Amino acid sequence: MSKASPSTPRKPALDAAPIFAALGDETRLGLIARLSAGDRVSIKRLTEGTDVTRQAVTRHLEVLEDAGLVRGTRRGRERLWRLEPKRIELARRSLKEISRWWDKKLAALKAKVEE
């Protein structure tokens, strides 16, 4: 990964890249929405009312887990999944940092244009 320079946003924005990559899929975004209620949820419950297979949901959850967004724990034969709020907070802070960075860049551009 390249280091941040004055022309790119800084941390935490760069640290959150794997989070945004994982959230770039509609199915994974839907899983995050379902897990945001705060309960530990089984794959069976996560697939209810969808046309997504349990195997596909499992693969999507593994991607989200690799990004640190969810955590799975075993309970008997079942695996229960929950949201990791600290990683969601990192994504929020990253978006805020990116927004500030763009505000500065756009203000500088406006000043140049108005000169």
Domain spans of the chain, in order of start = 17-114
Tokens of 66: 């690799």
Alpha carbon distance 40, 81 (integer Å): 5
- The pLDDT confidence band at residue 28, using thresholds 50, 70 and 90, is very high
Residue 17 carries which DSSP code?
A: H
Q: Which pLDDT value is given to residue 90? A: 87
CA atoms within 13 A on the CB side of 23: 15
Mean pLDDT of 98-105: 91
Query: Given the structure tokens 């530990």, which residue do they identify?
Result: 40
pLDDT of residue 49: 87
List the structure tokens of 90: 């990192």
CATH number for region 17-114: 1.10.10.10
What confidence score (pLDDT) does residue 2 get? 47
What six digits make up the tokens of 48?
């209810």
Q: Whole-prediction pTM value?
A: 0.75
pLDDT score recorded for residue 70:
96
